[in-house]
Structure formats: C-alpha cells, structure tokens
Chain A
Amino acid sequence: SQKIEQNSEALNIQEGKTATLTCNYTNYSPAYLQWYRQDPGRGPVFLLLIRENEKEKRKERLKVTFDTTLKQSLFHITASQPADSATYLCARGGDNAGNMLTFGGGTRLMVKP
C-alpha cells in the first residue's frame, strides 16, 4: 500500500524564520501531493497542490517542492508568524480514479514570537 510519512515531532521555530516541513512517500510517485493546514478541533484547510511533473509551486509565503528521485516533498513557510502555528498535513492522491487522499500523520509547527 502507498504510505506517506511526516516527521511526527513538533517543529519549533522563531518568528521571521523559514519553516521547512518534510513529507516522504513510498513506492511509485503519486500523480500529485497536497498540503493542508489543520487547527485543533477544525477540519483541514487546503493550501497547495503540486503535480508529479512540477518541481516547485508557490503561493504567497508558501512554497512546495516535489522531488521524485528522493520521493519527497518539502513545504516551506517563509517569514513565519505565530499565526502559522498549526499542524500541517501532506497527502498523496491520484493513485486511483477516485482521487481519494492518503494522509501522513502531520507535523505540528510552533512559531514563537
């Protein structure tokens, strides 16, 4: 089965620094990877999607990369703010026609002022 692995340890960084979160997958590359933000007691919020043939995608302070050789996606938040503190989820999709997502366990980010 396809797996998605994220660092389960919390990432603590100082405000203003760049946060980098890692997502590793097994077996073949998915058609795309999606990144979500989840706050406690809330549903995941879609942030970015990157397709297998794209190396990098940007949206405001967010950047996602897709490395099919390393079987890895990196998620960057530049100029981080305390409001960015949340759990970030990586998910693979497109493994079948239904496009259901396989999620990693998430990485909790804490940005300290």
Chain B
Amino acid sequence: NAGVMQNPRHLVRRRGQEARLRCSPMKGHSHVYWYRQLPEEGLKFMVYLQKENIIDESGMPKERFSAEFPKEGPSILRIQQVVRGDSAAYFCASSPGQGLPEQYFGPGTRLTVT
C-alpha cells in the first residue's frame, strides 16, 4: 500500500510566481490535511479537505493561498504571487476518517522562493 505521495519534492520559485503543490493520499483515505513547517518552527495546520469539499481552512493565510481536493486526482495547494516568507516545507497528511484519527504524512514539498 503506497504511502502519501507529494510532488514535487523540491520547488524553486521567484517572487511573484505561482507554486502548485500536489498530494495523493493513501489508498482508501478520503481526508487530507495540509501543514506548513517554517524553518526552525513547528508544524502548523493550514487546511482540511474531503473530496470536493473544504472542511476547515482556519489555518490558511487569507490571501494568495487556496486548496482543493477534486473528485478525481490529487489535492492541490496553490500559492499565488509567492513571497520569500512562503519558503517552507509543506506537508500533506491523510487519514481514513471513520473514527480513526491517525494521520499519515507525505515526504513534503520544500518550497524555496528566491
């Protein structure tokens, strides 16, 4: 059973460009979470999605950030007009739901904004 897949693993963008981060959850998992880990800081929750629905985006910055989890395909975290402060590791986690709260993390995407 393949684990959570994220791509790309490393992404370099210039200020003002767009970044698209992809996450494929574990097979059978319908709940996806995105977390951000800034250098020397802990993991911070960003958004929680189920198929075709954003359930909680309380951790998302109000502007430039959006997320989706379409019926088909991976979940996407999109950052528009990136700034240097967006440089971080972005982790996706999935869980099966149904009263099973364990979350399984992907390897992360390391975004560097130059």
Q: Could you tell me which A residues sit within 8 Å of B by CB distance?
A: 31-32, 34, 36, 41-46, 49, 89, 91, 93-94, 96, 98-106
User: Is B48 at the interface (CB under 8 A from chain A)?
Assistant: yes
Could you tell me if A44 and B56 are in contact, using CB atoms closer than 8 angstroms? Answer: no
Asked whether, in the complex, the Cβ of A105 is within 8 Å of the Cβ of B42, the reply is yes
Complex contact A106–B56 (CB within 8 A): no
- Chain B residues engaging chain A, CB cutoff 8 angstroms: 4, 6, 31, 33, 35, 41-45, 48, 55-56, 59, 91, 95, 101-108, 110
In the assembled complex, 12 residue pairs joining A and B whose CB atoms fall closer than 8 Å, in A order, are: A43-B91, A43-B106, A46-B102, A89-B43, A91-B43, A93-B101, A94-B101, A98-B56, A99-B95, A100-B33, A101-B35, A103-B43
Q: Contact between A49 and B101 (Cβ–Cβ < 8 Å)? A: yes
CA distance A99 to B107 in the complex (A): 21
Chain A residues near B56 (CB-CB < 8 A): 96, 98, 100
| Known interface pairs A43-B106, A94-B101; A102-B45 also in contact (CB < 8 Å) | yes
User: How many cross-chain pairs have Cβ atoms below 8 Å apart between A and B?
Assistant: 59
Q: Are B55 and A98 in contact (CB under 8 A)?
A: yes
CA distance A106 to B41 in the complex (A): 9
Residue contact A100 to B45, C-beta cutoff 8 Å: yes
Residues of A contacting B33 in the complex (Cβ-Cβ under 8 angstroms)? 100-101
Q: Which residues does chain B contribute within 8 Å of A102, judged by CB atoms?
A: 45
Given contact pairs A32-B101, A98-B56, A101-B43, a sample of 15 additional A-B residue pairs in the complex whose CB atoms are under 8 Å apart = A34-B103, A41-B110, A43-B105, A43-B107, A44-B91, A49-B101, A89-B43, A96-B56, A99-B95, A99-B101, A100-B33, A103-B43, A104-B42, A105-B41, A106-B42
> Given the complex, which residues of A lie within 8 Å of B95, measured CB to CB?
99
CB of B46, distance to nearest CB on chain A (Å): 9
Does B108 contact A103, Cβ atoms closer than 8 Å?
Answer: no
Assess the B45–A34 pair: CB atoms within 8 A. Answer: no
